Structure 1
Amino acid sequence: MRYGTREGAKTPVMLDGEGQARDVSGIISEFTPETISVVQSRLSAIDPRDLPLFDTAGQRVAAPVSQPRNIWCVGLNYSDHAAESGMPVPEEPILFNKASGTYCGPNDPLLYSDKMSKLDWEVELGVVIGRAALNVSREAALDHVLGYCVVNDVSERAWQAERGGQWTKGKSFPNFCPTGPVLVTGDELGDPGELDLWTEVNGEKVQDGSTNKMIFDVATIISYMSEFTRLEAGDLICTGTPPGVGMGFKPPRYLKPGDRVRMGIAGLGIQEQTVEPL
């Protein structure tokens, strides 16, 4: 995890067996794409109880790794979400990008512009790359993963579908990618293909799914993407969402200022946002 103001310095921490935050800044100054290569090797050799406690009271939770070079996304990657959207199951992963400026902390506000009309939520399993991947096999793909986290792939559906059909256009407003609160390594998490994930809007559960409904699993996604691009350390991959997004309701339901979004994934924590007008 990381704590700190949006623009200011961050304090990197790791959680001990009791869930207490331990300050690791004396060992790793920051969790960044540049330091990822040494994070696991250094921290795995440490007993967290030997590190100083970090006082989290009143602290903002930052995204667990600093700004990634790339934010990649997979569209329509749950069979039941494809059905909800009225679209065929993809034969190959649908790939698109979110702008880097969307990246923010897990509890930062969702910004609402007066040019928006169809602001939507999407709980997703986030995958953070630990070392570069180019033309890797499916069997070796998970060896390139640093860990997993919760992501809200926030979407403006009118911009996405009604303004030229460009998905990136509807996915790239500031704060459209709340990430965290924690990053959990694969050895701690277990099978990323058997995780429950959910979303509540104003206290009502609207998404309740499992990653076992993914059309393309994490290993397949990484191997497939590495055929076309070089995945870099720190890159974030958002792997798709289960059904229950606002667009899928009849009639559709979209977010407005004052609405509260809460979502989580088993073993990866919970994030909460409030929609705020600019």
Structure 2
Amino acid sequence: MKLATLKNGTRDGQLVVVSRDLKRMRAVPALAATLQQALDQWADVLPGLQAQSDELNAGTRPAEVFDPARCAAPLPRAYQWLDASSYLNHVELTRRARGGEMPPSFLTDPVMYQGASDEFMGPRDDIVATSEELGVDLEAEIVVVTGDVPLGVDAQAALGHVRLLGLVNDVTLRGLVVPELAKGFGFVQSKPASALSPVLVTPDELGAHWREGKLHRVMEVSLNERPLGRPQAGEGMHFHFGQLIAHAARTRRLIAGTVLGSGTVSNVGDEVGVCCLVEARVREQLREGRMLTPFLKHGDRVRIEMRDDDGASLFGAIDQTVRIEGARA
């Protein structure tokens, strides 16, 4: 089952069920007006949502055309946004870029922070910044959305609380990261709003490619219509999503609608490219002695997507243009 949220002038938008091929959709106000409402009542509304999904996939009844340009983020605002760094190759490279090393504890204890969840951008919304000097970067990641998660859940049981999966562009302002982290209190200004994929999908839609808490598909990232990275998301993920959820729930419950990110997808080696620009820059520094890749500029276009074996888009594409406020057109 695939779910999306349409912009309708309200903060939380309108929930729609979307066909597997991302061509048709249907609003379901009698079941749930918003995705958060559906997550709050998941056991009660799931059969009805699944029935609508089956009808859409069968094409037996009229439906509206699905247009990602009409989409808000599936969860335009969420109760919680937690982002991990489970791809340790990315962690090592970015810490090296800041002149540091990866502590041994990172191998046994996940790195995670709580980000701003009051606004998620839609998949076609502009990436807005006040200056290119801030070092605007993209980060292509996988996200899961949970139901209610009990305190102290173990990693295996935690996977049973995954309701939906999707993609996120976790925008980072690299010029603010180092001075902000030097204060010892975490990200705030260096982490503006992130963008979610047009649809989120239930785990069963992914078949055998969702296994052992990892999504074994290629993350496709392009910049200005040129390939930037094609890493396999199932490789190099040191902590799977069950472990990440259990880490977050070690001392508190998680509420339905919690969004949890994998961290930037990253494979060892240069041949598959990268999912963020700072990683490209560090690889250049190590390989050639200097950083050549610039951060995002006004007018740059970022696209993030995953496909199935037949080349069909699983979540729809995050397709954003960078807009620097005050920049010349």
TM-score, scaled to structure 1: 0.88
Report the equivalent of 2:191. Answer: 172
Aligned residues: CA RMSD: 2.4
Q: In the alignment, is residue 23 of structure 1 matched against residue 26 of structure 2? A: yes
Q: Which amino acid aligns with 1:72?
A: L
Moved more, 23-32 or 211-220: 23-32
Rg (Cα) greater in structure: 2
Q: Is the 8 A contact 1:197 1:264 kept in 2?
A: yes
- Distance change >3 Å, CA 35–CA 66, structure 1 → 2: farther
Q: How does 1:180-195 map to 2 (within 5 A)?
A: 180-190=197-207, 191=210, 192-195=214-217
Report the equivalent of 2:114. Answer: 97
Moved more, 256-265 or 16-25: 16-25
Report the equivalent of 1:48. Answer: 55
- Distance change >3 Å, CA 259–CA 66, structure 1 → 2: closer
Q: Which amino acid aligns with 1:53?
A: A
- Pick one of 302, 306, 309 that aligns with 1:265: 306
Query: Partners in 1 of 2:68 and 2:240 — Cα distance?
Result: 38
Query: Partners in 1 of 2:237 and 2:115 — Cα distance?
Result: 20
Q: Which amino acid aligns with 1:253?
A: P
Q: Which amino acid aligns with 1:78?
A: Y
Q: How many residues align?
A: 275
Q: CA deviation at 1:32?
A: 3.3
Q: Is the 8 A contact 1:121 1:152 kept in 2?
A: yes
Structure with bigger helix share is 2
Q: How does 1:121-200 map to 2 (within 5 A)?
A: 121-165=138-182, 167-173=186-192, 176-190=193-207, 191=210, 192-200=214-222
Report the equivalent of 2:80. Answer: 70
- Distance change >3 Å, CA 62–CA 153, structure 1 → 2: same
1:209 is paired with a residue whose SS is coil
Q: Is the 8 A contact 2:138 2:277 kept in 1?
A: yes
Query: Partners in 2 of 1:55 and 1:152 — Cα distance?
Result: 25
Report the equivalent of 2:225. Answer: 203
Q: Which amino acid aligns with 1:257?
A: H
Q: Is the 8 A contact 1:260 1:275 kept in 2?
A: yes
Gaps of 5+ in 1: none
Query: What CA deviation, in whole Å up to 9, does each residue of 1:57-91 have, x standing for no partner?
Result: 5952111234211111003x213313432342723
Moved more, 243-252 or 120-129: 243-252
Report the equivalent of 1:247. Answer: 278
Query: Partners in 2 of 1:110 and 1:56 — Cα distance?
Result: 23
Q: Which amino acid aligns with 1:246?
A: L
1:211 is paired with a residue whose SS is coil
Q: How does 1:114-125 map to 2 (within 5 A)?
A: 114=131, 116-125=133-142
Q: What is the aligned-residue identity percentage?
A: 24
- Distance change >3 Å, CA 183–CA 121, structure 1 → 2: same
2:200 is paired with a residue whose SS is coil
Q: Which amino acid aligns with 2:70?
A: R
Query: Partners in 1 of 2:9 and 2:260 — Cα distance?
Result: 22
Moved more, 2-11 or 266-275: 2-11
Query: Partners in 2 of 1:18 and 1:103 — Cα distance?
Result: 24
Q: Is the 8 A contact 1:112 1:257 kept in 2?
A: no
Report the equivalent of 2:288. Answer: none
TM-score, scaled to structure 2: 0.76
Query: Partners in 1 of 2:168 and 2:13 — Cα distance?
Result: 20
- Distance change >3 Å, CA 112–CA 234, structure 1 → 2: same
Report the equivalent of 2:323. Answer: 276
Moved more, 151-160 or 87-96: 87-96
2:238 is paired with a residue whose SS is coil
